[in-house]
Structure 1
Amino acid sequence: MQRQEESGEDIVIVGAGLAGLAAALGLHRKGVRSVVLESSPSLRASGFAFATWPNAFRALDALGVGDQIRKLHLHIQGLRVMSASTGEIAKEVDFRDEFSCVRRDVLLQVLAAELPTGTIRYSSKIVSIDEHGDGAKTLHLADGSTLRAKVLVGCDGINSMVGRWLGLAKPSHSGRSATRGLARYPDGHGFPPKFLQLFGNGFRFGFVPCNDTDVYWFYTWSPSEDDDDGAEESGTKMKQYVLTKLRSSKVPAEALELVERSDDAPATPLRFRPPLSLVFAGISKGNVCVAGDALHPMTPDLGQGGCAALEDGVVLARCLGEAILGGDGDGATGGTDEKERIESGLRRFAGIRRWRSIELIGTAYAVGFVQQSGNRIISFLREKVLAGVLAGRLLKMSDYNCGTLSS
């Protein structure tokens, strides 16, 4: 049975992922109401977990949930980089600042629990967007209902409908794929609080504990018809493919056990938005903008995709919230037309996030290329010289502060 046509909303956020929930919570903290449309019947936690660098914790603290997340996850003390071809340690880095591997489902649940009841509307899939003369957008949902939005924020992932409406460039395939898993040890895993990463032999593999019982791992590679034998089409085959590749490399025995303990591991092609396409792209247009993967899909080589989404949420809530409340942080007051203030606030958000997004996407792609290259010269330099440089880039990209919810 179709739902009746719904009344309008001031702010509609599409997608209950990290960026969408962070933006909604940031707005809520500022006293601004929003509605989040999620196409799934419940919160989705694809990806299992994600690296949470200092920049992400700054964003979580701004949203008021940082300490909750800290209590539920281990503090990781350092990074060890090893060669998968020789087994030698190429670089060790002690983390001076915070780093954890946060379970995605846990974080989404924490963010959602802080929102007013009814903020998230599940099973609400947008199929088209219409624009009216007054600038408002009518969202047509799959169940036949419509919703009129004064402000539309697309946090709907790499295949964002809102991004397409804005005319953003279609994400490109990097030529690489990834699979991920979560190994559970009910009696405790015993791993030290370290992030271990291996590269070489055409792949990158790493694992890091989330808490005392869960360990997250990932494997990225460049598929070929001769190499993977259709493994990407089956989670079971993919898991066996990863185990075969690891057994033929200089990988610690506990790494194999991690994969063996995990459920089947489906593969995902790694896509990214060409960074140069964002230089002049319309990240915002009038009362519409995008954030999270809808804005800056990137390869996972910096571990910054989720972190950047949280940054987006805080910055968007600050810019849009101040516009709605009567000021845009640059001295504007409530006397300015609200529509003009909203558009100005979204332009501010786009200006702040444009170059950060370009840098993250470009750096992640370059780091991934070097880490997985099979070229002999690059492989030699990577293992003898570049390991430290690459580790340094990870730390540099995390040394960023998105600010608080107030200017």
Structure 2
Amino acid sequence: MEQQKQDAAEDVVIVGAGLAGVGVALGLHRKGVRSVVLESSPALRTSGFAFMTWTNAFRALDALGVGDKMRSHHLQVQGVRVMSPTTGQVVRELDLRVQGKLGPHEARCVQRNVLLQALEEELPAGTIRYNSRIVSIDDDKEKDGGGDAKILHLADGSTLRAKVLIGCDGINSVVARWLGLAKPLDSGRRATRGHAKYSDGHGFQPKFMQLSGNGFRAGLVPCGDTDVYWFLTWSPSCPDGKEDVDQSPAEMKQFVLAKLRSIMAPDEVLDAVERSEMNDVLVAPLRYRPPLSLLFGSISKGNVCVAGDALHPTTPDLAQGACIALEDAVVLARCLGDAMDGDETIEAALRRYAGIRRWRSAQVIAASYMVGRVQQSEHAVVRFARDRLLSGVLAKGLLMMPDYDCGTL
């Protein structure tokens, strides 16, 4: 069969317009490097509503030039309140404005669509190409001075030649699969989330409320004066979790309320769930990439690498998934941009990026997994130690991973 005609060529192609992909594109733009972002959906994907954005993420956002814009739209979360699973009372409080090893801590619940739009607005028009889904990757057989260029086959039948390929295409990444990274594993846990809007103001203190017990973990945090975000993670009673996945939004809301009532959650928390919009993904399995596979796997190969969830899918127990994706964006843009300005090869620059991110990614995945298991465990000994001895330690653990600086561009 005659080889398919090549439609176009680009120097740097980023697959996926999530936080990592758009962040890498903006970082490269700041370094004077043009890139193209291929996004399979017809518009920016804003599923998930919001996420906790910690000190390390704000350092990355400052490096990208949008940190202050996010601060102006979102309340600073001043502390963490850990609730007792037996009485519903506050048993631990942690100040989130304390000084870390690298400077003062900062935490805000940032709306995903607000951040993505802020990043996109800083990019040259046309950087993101929507309705562009990549289905496979081939080596460029022509090799006419292109080195390790790759041919990307898109769902519409077109092809694109990329001199540098960066996979930011999420947990089911086509690029990660091409690199041979281990498949993400199912943690055996599920998560749901919601967004409550109070037109006259919610009245919540600017604190992250954390609840756990009876085999689940929940959290609630205000984003601004009128918006509150909450989540629930649990281990389904059936191994495949079908009794939870098949529920309607109304049934899922009742499922969450029943869990929260079982530990005497405060009335204001129950009210937030009652008034919530749940028209996003109702239930998501919590998956993670085995940490050891990142220590020995191929994060980069030639002129190809991955970032964000394509690199380090993790459970959300330390609220670091999006934060370290933003770290990736700064480090990768710095390494790649410096190589294009200097004598270092692209391959060497991507190896340097992989070396920086390998240990950091494995550390966050392992710590998140262990914290989630301890907080959600119903084993009698673990439960006793967690509720009586470890609740303060686990709360303080929230500040360990954010005490990190990815550097500037």
Normalising by the smaller structure, the TM-score range is over 0.9
Aligned equivalent of 1:250: 264
Residue of structure 2 in register with 1:103 after alignment? 111
Question: Structure 2: which amino acid aligns with 1:315?
Answer: V
Which residue of 1 is the match for residue 400 of structure 2? Answer: 396
Aligned residue identity for 2:216: F
1:234 partner letter: Q
1:329 corresponds in structure 2 to none
Aligned mate of 2:252, from 233, 238, 256: 238
1:13-162 to 2 correspondences below 5 Å: 13-96=14-97, 97-132=105-140, 133=143, 134-162=147-175
Corresponding residue for 1:295?
311
User: Residue deviations 1:265-295, cap 9 Å, x none?
Assistant: 6010000001011111000000000000000
Q: 2:335 aligns with which of 319, 328, 331?
A: 319
SS in 2 for 1:112: helix
Is residue 284 of structure 1 aligned with residue 282 of structure 2?
no
> What is the rounded CA distance, in whole Å, between the counterparts of 2:241 and 2:128 in structure 1?
40
Aligned ranges 1:169-248 → 2 under 5 Å: 169-225=182-238, 230-236=243-249, 237-248=251-262
Distance 1:155 1:226 in 2: 30
Structure-1 separation of matches of 2:400 and 2:263: 30
1:397 is paired with a residue whose SS is coil
> Are the structure 2 counterparts of residues 128 and 226 from structure 1 closer, same or farther at C-alpha, using a change threshold of 3 Å?
closer
1:310 aligns to 2:320 (yes or no): no
TM-score normalised by structure 1 residue count = 0.93
Residues 320-361 of structure 1: CA deviation (Å, up to 9, x unaligned)? 0111122xxxxxx3xx6xxxx100000010000000000000
User: Would you say how many aligned residue pairs link Structure 1 and Structure 2?
Assistant: 390
Aligned-partner residue type, residue 145 of structure 1: S
* CA-CA distance at 1:259 after TM superposition: 1.0
Q: Output one character per residue of 1:353-376: Cα deviation in whole Å (capped at 9) or x when no partner.
A: 000000000000000000000011
More moved, 12-21 vs 388-397: 388-397
Normalising by the residue count of structure 2, what TM-score does the alignment of the two structures yield? 0.93
Whichever residue aligns with residue 255 of structure 1, its letter is V
Distance (whole Å) between structure 2 residues aligned to residue 229 and residue 347 of structure 1: 42
Gap regions ≥5 residues in structure 1: 327-332
Unaligned 5+ segments in structure 2 are 98-104
Q: Is the 8 A contact 1:195 1:207 kept in 2?
A: yes
How far does residue 94 in structure 1 lie from its aligned partner after superposition?
Answer: 0.4
Q: 1:181-218 CA deviation, whole Å, 9 max, x = no partner? A: 11111111111111100011111011000011110000
Matches within 5 A, 1:316-395: 316-326=332-342, 333=343, 341-395=345-399
Q: Is it true that 1:273 corresponds to 2:289 in the alignment?
A: yes
Aligned-pair distance for 1:91?
1.6
- Cα deviation, 1:140-170, whole Å, max 9, x if unaligned, reads 1111111100000000000000000000000
- Secondary structure, in 3 states, of the residue corresponding to 2:57? helix
Task: Give the conservation status (yes or no) of the 8 Å contact 2:195–2:278.
Answer: no
How far 1:226 moved relative to its partner?
9.7
- 1:228 Cα offset (Å): 7.3
Shift of 1:5: 5.4
Q: Distance in 2 between matches of 1:251 and 1:238?
A: 17
Maintained 8 Å contact 2:188/2:239: no
Q: Report the CA distance between 1:390 and its aligned residue.
A: 1.0
Calculate the aligned-residue CA RMSD, in Å: 1.5
SS in 2 for 1:303: coil
Identical pairs, percent: 67
* CA 158–402 in structure 1, closer or farther in 2 if over 3 Å, else same: same
SS of the residue aligned with 2:233?
Answer: strand
| Residue equivalent to 1:330 | none
Secondary structure of 1:254's counterpart equals helix
* Residue in 1 that maps onto 2:102: none
Change (3 A) 1:320 1:240: same
Relative to 1, partners in 2 of residues 1:382 and 1:294: Cα closer, same or farther, differing over 3 Å? Answer: same
